[in-house]
Amino acid sequence: MTAELVRGQNHVLPQTRLEIRVSAGKPIVAGATLSDEEGRVRGADWVAHPASPGMPGLEVSKQAAADHRLAVDLGALPSGAERVNILLALPVTDGAQGPGSGGGPARFGALAAPFVAVTGLDGAEIASYTITDLDAESAVVALELYRRQGAWKVRAVGQGYAGGLAAMLSDQGLPDGPALATEILDAVASGMARSVAAPPQRTAEADRVRHSTPTVQPAHETYGASASQHANSGRSAMTSPPDGQASPEGQVSVDGHVPPDGQVTQAPSTAPSTAPSGDSGSPQQPEPHDSRSRDDLHGQGHPGQGQDRQGQDHLDQPEQQTAAPASTGPVDYTHPSRRTAAPPTPAPAAPTAQPGQPAQPVAGDATGWSMEERLYNQVWGMFEDLARTAAAYRSAVEFADSRMEQELDQVLTDPRSRISGQGDAAREAARAKQAKLVEQAREVLDRDIAQLTAEADVVEPALPPSFAAWGNPIWQAYRVPMEPPMALRLGDLHLPECTDLRIPMLIRLPLERGLWIDSGRTASSATASLADSEELRRLAMDTAVAHAARLLAVYPPGDFAVHVIDPAGSATGSLAPLRESGVLGEPPAAGAAGVSEILAQLTRRVDLVQMAVRARATDSLPPDIDPAEQLLIVNDFPHGFDDRAVTQLRYLADEGPAVGVHLMMVADREDAAEYGPILDPLWRSLLRLTPVPDDHLADPWVGHAWTYEPSLTPPGSEVLSDVLARVADARRAWGR
């Protein structure tokens, strides 16, 4: 049973591997400090915060958000650490008080009371605390986990500091508390580029002219989503961006855990998004694992970053994010978001339904600033509705089975009824009740699926190219866009109860997580039917090329570039559409020298752009630095990689997405086993996808195992070559 704590109350912790969940309604900063028996923090290395989110036994979020998940392993803390303090603080923005700022004071008294919960590996809540009576404070110590007589306990603290994060850190014994507070808030500010203004009015089709991205004012928008029981009963939109992924990183939260955002986010109030998916800024690691298994790995990683409690990938759902001013220079890596205010024009209304009949589906009936955003939110709502109705059906079946078992047990407890006709009749009656309950549950499920299927039939034809399947006729009329989209389709998701109903898996753009196309064999029947592993590797590379082609097609001319590492030249056939169309700026890198050269080039780009962004000098980049988003496809990893190359690859996976360098790996983890656990953080940071149908993705609400199918071109179709040819023509016309 959950212990609802009040200030000063403590509670015994039954286990040492925990998760701390924080919900505040508005973006806040979450961190943790370690201290010894006397309550002293020995140094900055005993503080986990967005600028340094990981330490032994602790993992915190890398940015401000309304909802946080902090991973704690009390058994892995450094020697001498006897206490863990969970810290919350308000980020400094243009409208908040901070060092050198002239805005009004940021205070917890202006927000809803923050809620903090301690949960176990299974998600079961152990203790919770609502922090009330806060007023002028802008930082607060929420909880204290401490060791007493060999046992760990949690205490509700609720100690606030009007002096903010600097005063709180100084009070914990850190002499350089103000300097560390400034570092933390600066790191948060640099990661808060998540909001975007309403889209500008588009010019007439004949006057399409590209414009630079306008400066965006900072905002603090809560990203949320809600959906009605059915598509046309007023499903409201998610009001701010994920993560993702996508996370359909997903972000469903997919290997991302994945949905239509890691990353795919926001779910109902019960949901924790990368997109897909996607998505998602949550903690990860710290132990090696096989993401194909469904063992309990909740304590090893954060659901928002790759694996769920059963070890399944999850869809990155949209995450609550905040924003910082966009750069005024040519490089703008801010993540798109949405306003919480009502959109300027109402969504299409469904026609009035006949009495007793469900409302007719309408494409784009969710709220949003544009039809693209409305469709994105509608797809998310369909995903959530299907997850809920399937969960209700499974729960009803479990109840029916449990009730039947109880009634049969009652019959068997009476020796007289075991051999009499009365016992046979009771058993038949119990089975009949069970069958009737299951039938009733199936009727409700079929009704809901029929409604969602009708909605999918009208939504799919209305999707823009970035959301549409390759078989959608919209690709036949494709034109190179002048603006980047808000999300990308990576495939489809479905459940075993309704295999014909497919929900697009969408992941937010720009990508916040890399992608891993798994070329290894899995437990999936689809891989078992393949003749050999070479065929599976070819399919994996074909999938990677299809994803890369879609990214090239949905970005404006020259705003997205693709690089390929193919050490042994085994992907020549799969890469033919990219090479023949001319969209590859350089031949695939081959051999150890080629691998080293391209990794050094992209690593240098990440370093220089990071420095330029921090110094607010994006106009000062060297002329040889391409400001476009970059995608690196790595085939047959780790062939051709030495230790230095592996280190550079991990660096790109960790630091690249924030400055426009993204990673797509085509690999089998078995091939990388020689590196041991050193690559586990790399695998966890990527959103795992498969080239064949596989049920490795799990949603973050009820943990359904969703079957993912990649988005590939129909057999014999020339759509991929045609689209890439138009992309190449547009690049030449724009001098790109």
- Counted residue by residue, the chain has a size of 736
Place of tokens 């998602």: 280
Q: Quick check: 640 and 588 in contact, CB under 8 A?
A: no
Q: Is 3-225 in CATH node 2.40.10.120?
A: no
The rounded distance, in Å, linking the Cα atoms of 4 and 643 is: 50
Which distant-in-sequence residues (6+ apart) come within 8 Å of 232 by Cβ?
350, 358, 359, 360, 361, 362, 365, 455
Q: Domain residue spans in the chain?
A: 3-225, 366-475, 513-522+530-736
Q: Which of the four pLDDT bands, split at 50, 70 and 90, describes residue 156? A: very high
The rounded distance, in Å, linking the Cα atoms of 552 and 76 is: 44
Q: Does position 475 have pLDDT exceeding 50, yes or no?
A: yes
What's the mean per-residue pLDDT of the chain? Answer: 76
Q: Does position 103 have pLDDT exceeding 60, yes or no?
A: no
Helices 719-733 and 533-554, interaxial angle, to 10°?
A: 40
Q: Quick check: 610 and 655 in contact, CB under 8 A?
A: yes
Q: Quick check: 477 and 499 in contact, CB under 8 A?
A: no
Q: Name 70's bridge partners.
A: 20
pLDDT over 90 percentage in the chain? 35
CATH for 513-522+530-736 (3.30.70, 3.30.310, 1.20.120, 3.40.50): 3.40.50
| Dihedral angle computed from the Cα positions of residues 644, 646, 650 and 651, in that order, rounded to the nearest 10 degrees | 20
The rounded distance, in Å, linking the Cα atoms of 578 and 545 is: 8
Q: Does position 213 have pLDDT exceeding 90, yes or no?
A: no
Per-residue pLDDT, 406: 86
Per-residue pLDDT, 351: 65
Per-residue pLDDT, 348: 65
Q: Which of the four pLDDT bands, split at 50, 70 and 90, describes residue 311? A: very low
Count of Cβ atoms closer than 10 Å to residue 481 Cβ = 18
Per-residue pLDDT, 307: 41
Distance from chain centroid for Cα 231: 23
Q: Does position 585 have pLDDT exceeding 90, yes or no?
A: no
Mean pLDDT across 25-37: 88
| Dihedral angle computed from the Cα positions of residues 141, 142, 148 and 151, in that order, rounded to the nearest 10 degrees | -140
Count of Cβ atoms closer than 10 Å to residue 108 Cβ = 26
Best CA proximity match to 246, nearest among 564, 697, 610, 684: 697
